[in-house]
Chains A and B, each alone.
Chain A
Amino acid sequence: MTTTAQASQLTFDCETGNYHTFCPISCVAWLYQKIEDSFFLVIGTKTCGYFLQNAMGVMIFAEPRYAMAELEEGDISAQLNDYEELKRLCLQIKRDRNPSVIVWIGTCTTEIIKMDLEGLAPRLESEIGIPIVVARANGLDYAFTQGEDTVLAAMAQRCPESLPTTEKAEPTLQRLLNFNRKKEHLPTSDHPPLVLFGSLPDPVVTQLTLELQKQGIEVSGWLPAKRYTELPVLPAGAYVCGVNPFLSRTASTLMRRRQCKLIGAPFPIGPDGTRAWVEKICQVLGKPAQGLAEREAQIWINLAPYLELIRGKSVFFMGDNLLEISLARFLVRCGMTVLEIGIPYMDKRYQAAELALLERTCQEMNSPLPRIVEKPDNYHQIQRIYELQPDLVITGMAHANPLEARGITTKWSVEFTFAQIHGFGGARDILDLVTRPLRRNQALGQLGWERLVSPPQG
């Protein structure tokens, strides 16, 4: 069952899919904060509402710009008219919050009763005068962070093809002049436009944008932007590059529907990933990358105290948020041994560059190639964890406390999705998270109560 022998290439397994993860509707939690003029309406049941309410903790009390359209028995049995019901709720939202966009999140229930959200949205949109974007972020098809992927894929369709002409009354000639002036205003765009996709906190956006600027590359926009009304211009032929590993639908939408060219790069997670990401973009846009090796080396020097703590330790990813490949690759570079990479879904094409970097990293670090387990089975994984006794298990909250009580050190995986882990500056944050349980172990030393369950409970 366990592959401890040195494999010559990455092995991919697929288990039963019986694993714990967050429902993809959780993406509203960070997306409503990112897109400041949006309103997210989750069309589902009490189950969805209960999940959001509990998963978002205190955020729920801060008058969030999200709500449930809670389906009742009459909606399920089609005694009520979906269109009329949604219109009533959306008008209420318009009145109370006046958002620039309403995002409908389709759920398992709307899938099963085949509510035609994509069909209803354009009609209602023209009737109430607010754009309605439909994303099917349901647990039948997707896991956790893939929710963002469905939303961004839907938003990609709404990006303008050219700069919006704000003064509509202007004559064509003047508009053209205006257009040219704006174009000139964009500094040093001596390369085709580049749009990055993936929702990141604003400080990280600034940082990655600056990083590329240093290489003479101008980022012409981000999907998503701070506001829906500022969605980036996306002309056919523009280059796009992802910042997160779970955005494969968005990537294919950008390629197929918007005729963009995808830059397939490792993701800017860890200094190694960030450097490879910047280098790949430079290479594609024909800019010689400068000073990156020194920059990366400096970051590694800064990380030395953390590296001492984890070098030679083993880590097991149970898998629930699709960041696993990138994090594992970074941790191998840090000197850890990765025993297993569980992952909900593995898009080998979208993650190709990341997988190649993982393989190369393992070879360079002389570390065994880890086993990648798609759709893992948590029960089997726990048996493997008992057997392997890893130094660190990265897992969801459902398993963290029970494993700790059995003397197995854990780190809660969801924190990686909310911490600022991208770019050169994010490396420290990742290692801060990874080493926290190890530092806790050091701080508590040998108190003699690492195992806190009676043996038969196992």
Chain B
Amino acid sequence: MKLAYWMYAGPAHIGTLRVASSFRRVHAIMHAPLGDDYFNVMRSMLERERHFTPVTASIVDRHVLAQGSQEKVVDNITRKDAEEHPDLIVVTPTCTSSILQEDLQNFVERATEQTRCDVLLADVNHYRVNELQAADRTLEQIIRFYLQKAAKKGTLNTQKTAQPSVNILGITTLGFHNQHDLKELKKLMGELGIQVNVVLPEGATVDQIALLPQAWFNLVPYREIGLLSAQYLQAEFGLPMVQTTPMGVMATAQCIREIQQVLNTQGQAVNYESYIDEQTRFVSQAAWFSRSIDCQNLTGKKAVVFGDNTHAAAMTQILAREMGIHVVWAGTYCTYDGDWFRAQVSPYCDDVIITDDHTRIGDAIAQAEPAAIFGTQMERHVGKRLHIPCGVISAPVHIQNFPLGYRPFLGYEGTNQIADLVYNSFTLGMEDHLLEIFGGHDTKEVITKTLSAATDLSWTPEAQKELNKVPGFVRGKVKRNTEKFAREQGLTTISVEVMYAAKEAVGA
């Protein structure tokens, strides 16, 4: 047992659902008790999704506990098949079904005989993997299933496309800025003269999976999701992969050079050096920013970095290599993949922390006293408490991290966004600091904040106490409205009764 208030990565089924609901015409059925379909709320709220999230639950209740699911799961699968006509239904186990140990595979096989669609059981164990690992596995499982199916039917076409082309693997729903990153990657590929063959799983149909082998290579932008799929495609079809995240000026250049090499070994003669040079010096503002006086002032300033593997590693490298910032420590909550992280960031920071315990991270921030933090929403709140600015660079995130405007973290536009994020975080802290040194904005104490000259009214102690129970952000309004009401009624003393009379009358 572990005492926990907060977790960085969600439970396994969330990963499976993220992958399943990223596809089009794929439906997920969770084997779960009432209330576990919270995923639908998150997707609908955070992504402001217009469509119904294609996830339903086959409810585990008392009866299921006593007698087993029996026909329930099969019925739910066949019903969903008839109602929604999906191409695929992914049966998703949860922590509850993990311990019930029902033979879900058997349900899936029985259902398959009655459905028009395909049915798969997500091969994830709640107690062994987290959200990210489960997403990685589920994507690979679906890809493997459909490639094997196509091979069996003899419809698999492994003929490469005429022009160089790429599969982009690992773009998912509820992924940190994934939609914007995808747009940026497509633009980048276009400028490099590379066709985008298939993007998985976001917005794809399962039919497109059979097209995967026609690409010249796979691009895996994020370390956490898509790697297993790319490895499978490499082993099975010899499809090379590029897995350098194009985040930051130098990493983007490196990614492009790897792509160049992959294409040239397949008989192309591309040279992207002049493109990289043009983009670096004139399109992206980040290289210029690193030479400007603004960035000079950041030299040697202390920062700490925490997040998932992809973003924390890339951010550490950007801060240290491209901006001259002193990264005191860098950390990741992807503890299952900690060695990779350590290898990535060790040269660029004093210390590496690999943990999913947020209190340890909070303490490490307090100890390091950095000038800025780059982390998740949790670190942002730690920063608030310690009065240290924080730029959010990784999930878990809030709705404000699903901006409507264009905010990629990858590619050349991504470098601009990151430069803004870094610079704004540091200057914000600096401004606060300077204000404090010079005594703040207002050097005279403000005597009253209310606009009502309430000299003729008195509040009884009980009413005052009651007023203090009202949340601070509306207290002023309640006070003003109550006083206005009292004045209109010709009252001079405000009691609790008057307060409620005012609430009833004018909604104070």
Contact = CB atoms under 8 A, between A and B. Distances in A.
Interface of A: 17-25, 43, 45-47, 49-51, 53-55, 57, 60-61, 64, 66-73, 75-76, 80, 85-86, 88-89, 92-93, 108-109, 111-113, 138-144, 201-203, 206-207, 210, 298-299, 302, 379, 382, 396-402, 405, 424-425, 427-429, 432, 452-453, 457
Given A299-B504, A425-B504, A428-B504, A398 B40 contact: yes
Q: Of residues A17, A401, A402, A427, which shows the largest number of chain B Cβ atoms within 10 Å of its Cβ?
A: A401
Q: Of residues A92, A398, A399, which shows the largest number of chain B Cβ atoms within 10 Å of its Cβ?
A: A398
Interface stretch (B54-62, B114-122, B135-143, B150-158): B54-62
A315 to B, nearest CB: 21
Given A23-B36, A425-B504, A68 B3 contact: yes
B357 to A, nearest CB: 12
Contact of A47 (B5, B36, B48, B56): B36
Nearest to A207: B500
Given A17-B59, A299-B504, A402 B45 contact: no
Given A72-B127, A109-B99, A17 B61 contact: yes
Interface string B1-18: 111111100110110000
B5 A46 contact: no
Given A112-B100, A398-B44, 6 more contacts: A45-B11, A51-B35, A53-B6, A138-B33, A379-B56, A401-B44
Given A20-B40, A21-B34, A21-B35, A140 B507 contact: no
A86 B1 contact: yes
A401 B500 contact: no
Nearest to A383: B83
Contact of A398 (B41, B384, B496): B41
A68 B65 contact: no
A244 B143 CA distance: 50
B470 A45 contact: no
Contacts of A144: 35
Contacts of A379: 56, 83
A17 B34 contact: yes
Contacts of B480: none
11 contacts: A45-B11, A49-B6, A60-B5, A67-B3, A70-B1, A112-B96, A112-B100, A206-B466, A379-B56, A405-B50, A405-B51
A68 B130 CA distance: 17
B59 A18 contact: yes
B144 interface: no
Contact of B7 (A49, A71, A143, A402): A49
Contacts of A25: 35
Contact of A54 (B38, B61, B76, B378): B38
B1 A89 contact: yes
Contact of A203 (B96, B126, B470, B507): B470
Nearest to B49: A401
Contacts of B398: 57
A71 B505 CA distance: 51
A51 B42 CA distance: 10
Nearest to A89: B3
B496 A401 contact: no
Interface in B308-327: none
A210 B497 contact: yes
Contact of B35 (A22, A61, A302, A424): A22
A46 B504 contact: no
Contacts of B3: 67-70, 89, 92-93
A201 B466 CA distance: 11
Interface in B366-406: 378, 381, 384, 396, 398
B478 to A, nearest CB: 10
A428 B481 CA distance: 15
B421 interface: no
Interface residues of B, number: 63
A387 to B, nearest CB: 15
Chain A interface mostly: helix
Contact of B50 (A18, A47, A397, A402): A402
B473 interface: no
Contacts of B250: none
B15 to A, nearest CB: 11
Contact of B5 (A19, A68, A398, A424): A68
Contact of A75 (B1, B53, B470): B1
B35 A67 contact: no
B460 to A, nearest CB: 13
B441 interface: no
Contacts of A429: 507
Contacts of A298: 504
B503 interface: yes
Contact of A68 (B4, B38, B57, B505): B4
Contacts of B204: none
A50 B50 contact: no
A109 B38 contact: no
Interface in B196-255: none
A125 to B, nearest CB: 18
B37 interface: yes
Contacts of A64: 5
Contact of A141 (B32, B48, B62): B62
A23 B44 contact: no
Given A143-B35, A402-B44, A302 B505 contact: yes
Contacts of B59: 17-18
A203 B466 contact: yes
A54 B42 contact: yes
Nearest to A24: B35
Contacts of A76: 99, 127
A432 B96 contact: no
Contacts of A23: 33-36, 38
A434 B41 CA distance: 21
Given A22-B35, A140-B60, A402 B49 contact: yes
B94 interface: yes
B50 A452 contact: yes
Given A17-B59, A60-B6, A401-B50, A432 B35 contact: no
Contacts of B7: 46, 49-50, 53
3 nearest CB pairs, A to B: A23-B35, A139-B33, A398-B40
B95 interface: yes
Contacts of A21: 34-35
B438 interface: no
A302 B41 contact: no
Contact of A88 (B1, B381, B469): B1
Nearest to A298: B504
Contacts of A68: 2-5
A428 B502 CA distance: 12
Nearest to A68: B4
B507 to A, nearest CB: 5
A439 B503 CA distance: 21
Q: Of residues B7, B53, B96, which shows the largest number of chain A Cβ atoms within 10 Å of its Cβ?
A: B96
Given A54-B42, A210-B500, A401-B44, A108 B1 contact: no
Interface string B482-508: 000000000000001100100111110
Nearest to A399: B52
Interface in B51-93: 51-53, 56-57, 59-62, 65, 76, 83
A57 B181 CA distance: 26
A85 B1 contact: yes
